[in-house]
Chains A and B, each alone.
Chain A
Amino acid sequence: MPQNADNVLDHFNLFRQPEYKEMFENKKKNFENPVPDPELERVREWTKTEEYREKNFAREALTVNPAKACQPLGAVFASLGFEKTIPFVHGSQGCVAYYRSHFSRHFKEPTSCVSSSMTEDAAVFGGLNNMIDGLANTYNMYKPKMISVSTTCMAEVIGDDLNAFIKTSKEKGSVPQEYDVPFAHTPAFVGSHITGYDNVMKGIVEHFWDGKAGTAPKLERVANEKINFIGGFDGYTVGNIREIKRIFNSMGVEYTIFGDNSDVWDTPTDGEFRMYDGGTTLEDAANAIHARATISMQQYCTEKTLPLIANHGQDTVAFNHPIGVNGTDEFLMAISRISGKPISEELTKERGRLVDAIADSAAHIHGKKFAIYGDPDLCLGLTAFLLELGAEPVHVLSTNGGKAWAEKTEKLLASSPFGKDCHVYAGKDLWHMRSLLFTEPVDFLIGNTYGKYLERDTGTPLIRIGFPIFDRHHYHRYPVWGYQGAMNVLVWILDKIFDEIDRNTNVVAKSDYSFDIIR
């Protein structure tokens, strides 16, 4: 009997005991009708070949292990960045269960969001009644300051009109007439989660600045000295937004974080559940129209929002998830240029410390080959940083990256000698990446939790950077932006490199002469 009260065996040890191993063998042999071992081996080896890669890249219809989610996920992310706001997703209810679970698995935090719970009858007659009842219930139960409405694919396919539905709901008294209910259509069959983020942000800007769907006068812009900051869909939002605030404060720049998720996904355990915490106040969201400029940290998360803001007379600047020395330099210089405030001594010193750290460690990264996948902006930021470190980002893949992204990334690679022979893959998935890693191996892979399957299959060590990270805890609390953020990324990369060197040199009397205590 393998189990033991004194030393309870968990699943990872329990099922390796002989009783279970024998049981598995018998099950397979007698009842599973298994593929014969030689055939299994043949096919397994075949999936590693150039021939397989060619077939794999010839796929036109099937997607396998994509690195993207659907619009409504980004919609919920964006909505949660505002003070006491509940995301209200109009459509089937199962979707909302999925978004809430997905975020909670990443942030290890509660995620509040409601659904209009449409079923067959709503599919036939439309979801107006669901909206009317739903808004009234949410408003009464959870006392939000704002309800931010988006859609699932079901509501989009049947063509529900959010603007009209919300108007009717207000007429029926679901919520007060003047109550804030911004909305955005977020069809899951267009774009990805970053598109949904963009659509909701645009919807909220429109709502507050352009007359609340015809129910209030449009705001007149009276330019002030503030800078608006939009972070984009970001798994590191908790650490990043706090770091960005510190940077603004360090330079004495007045700012509005437009969409601030840093507190709602980082609430304390102190005996009280905070359904709401932090977030951009609705007042600040409205007053953001008067800002001198808006900075988007992720161009591809704000493709519609930024032009709308520019149309209101503001300067706009977009970055691509800047990570590293140059990216942070440009970000800070942009703030300085817009605000007229110099970059602080504190930040300049931090820059020096980052350069110092890179100088200390560059020898271990120089010339190492990397594969990267993730959202388009994150890929650009990481690629730029790796080039700074003298590493070679051999494969850069983004399932939700488009043609323009690919061109931009190629240009970035071409700007550095370390980008030679590196390639960009837009619209491809992690099964494509599997072929790339087998046919053109690299030293390290950078990606989210799902990359562990690639690590297992191809033996490429995974450095977890991206979204979602389900199987490691608390990294979302660390910034990756700013010089200190870059320092974190540098350390994560180095840790993996050193762990790998140790793992490869720890065999007694065989390789442990290189098992150095100083590296």
Chain B
Amino acid sequence: MSVAAAETIEELKARNKELIKEVLEVYPEKTAKRRAKHLGAFEEGKPDCGVKSNIKSIPGVMTIRGCAYAGSKGVVWGPIKDMIHISHGPVGCGQYSWASRRNYYIGTTGVDTFGTMQFTSDFQEKDIVFGGDKKLAKIIDEIQDLFPLNKGISVQSECPIGLIGDDIEAVSKAKSKEYEGKTIVPVRCEGFRGVSQSLGHHIANDSIRDWVFDKQEGKAARFEPSPYDVAIIGDYNIGGDAWSSRILLEEMGLRVVSQWSGDGTIAELEATPRAKLNVLHCYRSMNYISRHMEEKYGIPWIEYNFFGPSKIAESLRKIASHFDDTIKEGAEAVIAKYQPLMDAVIAKYRPRLEGKKVMLYVGGLRPRHVIGAYEDLGMEIIGTGYEFGHNDDYQRTTHYVKDGTLIYDDVTGYEFEKFVEKIQPDLVGSGIKEKYVFQKMGVPFRQMHSWDYSGPYHGYDGFAIFARDMDMAINSPVWKFAKAPWAA
């Protein structure tokens, strides 16, 4: 079956159906039945994408997912730059996640900031047998001794912690008391908990609620509140994303009092309950704390999307609608200011990218959020899926995707490879584990977790980089050489 065969929506849907049937044939019956629920095509008018999600991955299929530790240490907590995050357990988890997520920050690493360092308790057999609580207590002492300017410590549990019955909460409490109320946060993000990174986000959110917010009650603010105070929630500043977002909010007249958690500090976390509005980019990883702040402190939250000029303008207006005319006018001024830049970027790149077909498979918010940016460049998303999305993500996706779009949840290596092989998109956007598979096949690829070491992609400044990067992936001369001229 070839791509060109699918011309009408009905043909497209039939092709996708056939494709799904074909990939399911490889599985043993039980597995095929389970996987079938995660694969589908979007039907216009339906409230979600018609796939099951947030369910355990099947053993042995090569899921692309990670674990709760990755969701907590790697995503939520890791970027808080003035704290020390202990990877508590054996050495590997901290080693593989060491500085690989590109959460940019400014600070003197090793002295007042610690983002690109790997602190581990490097568990040995004796720690498993006798427990690691004493070691943890000593580690906290040694951290205080050698890194006196740290503003807090988090204990990121690896698998063994929950299995050997360690009481990291008791150690954290005792040490916090010993160090005059220092923030020490035990996080129960053992890798075997839940089905993916997602539970790790939730656990990390809850630990901020319990061990950071609750401690702050009754304490004075460090700054005078203003009516325009907002917090950026769910931006990890990958390649500087939060910065190219913050600058727009400030330009429209808002005051950003906190960044969660890219280039973030413990002081900013603590100050957030004083914001007037929480603006939420990655819904998946930080909706929990946003809901909590709404319930407990009455802070409203709204989702926004800073990928591509259409969504940015829409989002700036949506954010401004929560404030007075000064801010509304500010938003219009910002949109107008950047319009010439956006026009120039689109004029330059759209002709080179018009009509190109893209397949995505990412985590968090990106399987839907980046679609508008591609469409601003005249590109079309023909398949998308979430590594660890829930049904509410797939509901939100319906506003972005077109009728008949192929949807794959928790895709397996085999499925993804077959889908791309058959559909032959012009670009695949996914992660490092997928990148080289598709490039070998001669399909242009961009990493859409790390921005392929580029970025930022958020905001107007980021869109110029995004457009340039997609162009250079698709229009690189290298793809012409994949087939030798003498090959059949």
Contact = CB atoms under 8 A, between A and B. Distances in A.
Interface of A: 1-6, 8-11, 14-15, 19-20, 23-24, 27-28, 30-35, 39-40, 43-44, 47, 52, 55-56, 59-66, 68-70, 72-73, 88, 91-95, 97-102, 104-105, 108-120, 122-123, 130-131, 133-138, 140-142, 152-154, 157-158, 187-190, 192, 267-274, 431, 434, 450, 453, 457, 470
B215 interface: no
B465 interface: yes
Nearest to B127: A189
Contact of A47 (B106, B111, B431): B111
Contacts of A273: 417, 437-438, 440-441
A100 B413 CA distance: 12
Given A97-B64, A111-B433, A154-B160, A118 B192 contact: yes
Contacts of A271: 440-442, 482-483
Interface string B96-129: 1110100010101111100011111111110110
Contacts of B90: 70, 153, 188-189
Given A104-B432, A115-B63, A270-B484, 12 more contacts: A27-B259, A31-B258, A39-B149, A44-B111, A69-B91, A70-B92, A73-B96, A93-B67, A94-B70, A153-B123, A271-B441, A431-B110
A110 B436 contact: yes
Given A98-B92, A136-B28, A32 B465 contact: no
26 contacts: A10-B465, A30-B223, A40-B149, A63-B122, A64-B118, A66-B95, A70-B90, A91-B159, A95-B191, A97-B66, A102-B95, A116-B60, A118-B59, A133-B30, A140-B27, A157-B159, A189-B123, A189-B125, A189-B127, A268-B440, A269-B482, A270-B482, A270-B484, A271-B440, A272-B440, A272-B441
A68 B192 contact: no
A144 to B, nearest CB: 11
B200 to A, nearest CB: 9
A457 B95 CA distance: 20
A101 B195 CA distance: 19
B246 A88 contact: no
B250 A5 contact: no
Given A55-B145, A62-B119, A140-B27, A98 B96 contact: yes
B143 A112 contact: no
Closest 3 CB pairs of A and B: A94-B67, A70-B92, A134-B59
A480 B260 CA distance: 45
Contact of A5 (B30, B93, B239, B345): B345
A120 B119 CA distance: 26
A27 B192 CA distance: 38
Interface string B446-486: 00000000111000110011001000000000100011100
Contacts of A33: 151, 222, 265-267
Nearest to A109: B436
A269 B464 contact: no
Contacts of A72: 92
A98 B482 contact: no
Contact of A190 (B98, B124, B344, B345): B124
Contacts of A30: 223
B272 to A, nearest CB: 10
Contact of A137 (B61, B151, B250): B61
Nearest to B148: A43
A128 B25 CA distance: 25
Q: With a 10 A CB-CB cut-off, give which of A8, A34, A35, A135 has the most chain B CB atoms.
A: A8
Contacts of B461: 2-3, 9, 14
B69 interface: yes
B193 interface: yes
A440 to B, nearest CB: 19
Nearest to A131: B59
B31 A101 contact: no
B241 to A, nearest CB: 10
Nearest to A193: B92
Given A5-B341, A190-B125, A95 B483 contact: no
A63 B121 contact: yes
B323 interface: no
A189 B109 CA distance: 28
Contact of A64 (B68, B97, B117): B117
Interface in B240-280: 240, 243-244, 246-247, 250, 256-259, 263, 265-268, 271
B333 interface: no
Contact of A95 (B92, B118, B197): B92
Interface string B382-419: 00000000000000000000000000000011100100
A480 B405 CA distance: 49
A118 B337 CA distance: 52
B2 to A, nearest CB: 16
Nearest to A105: B432
Given A4-B464, A104-B435, A140 B118 contact: no
Contact of B120 (A63, A109, A136): A63
B164 interface: yes
A52 B338 CA distance: 50
Interface in B197-253: 197, 222-223, 239-240, 243-244, 246-247, 250
Contacts of A40: 108, 111-112, 149
A154 B191 contact: yes
Interface in B342-399: 344-345, 347-348
A97 B69 CA distance: 12
A295 B250 CA distance: 65
A188 B91 contact: yes
Interface stretch (B6-14, B134-142, B281-289): B134-142
B91 A192 contact: yes
Nearest to A136: B28
A98 B151 CA distance: 29
B338 A1 contact: yes
B89 interface: yes
A152 B59 CA distance: 14
Given A62-B139, A88-B60, A434 B110 contact: yes
A157 B158 CA distance: 12
A6 B28 CA distance: 54
B417 A450 contact: no
B265 A32 contact: yes
A470 B136 CA distance: 31
Contacts of B435: 104, 110
Contact of A453 (B30, B109, B123, B259): B109
Contact of A31 (B109, B223, B348, B437): B223
A399 B248 CA distance: 46
A69 B96 contact: yes
Contacts of B259: 27
B426 interface: no
Nearest to B344: A5
Nearest to B414: A141
Contacts of A272: 440-441
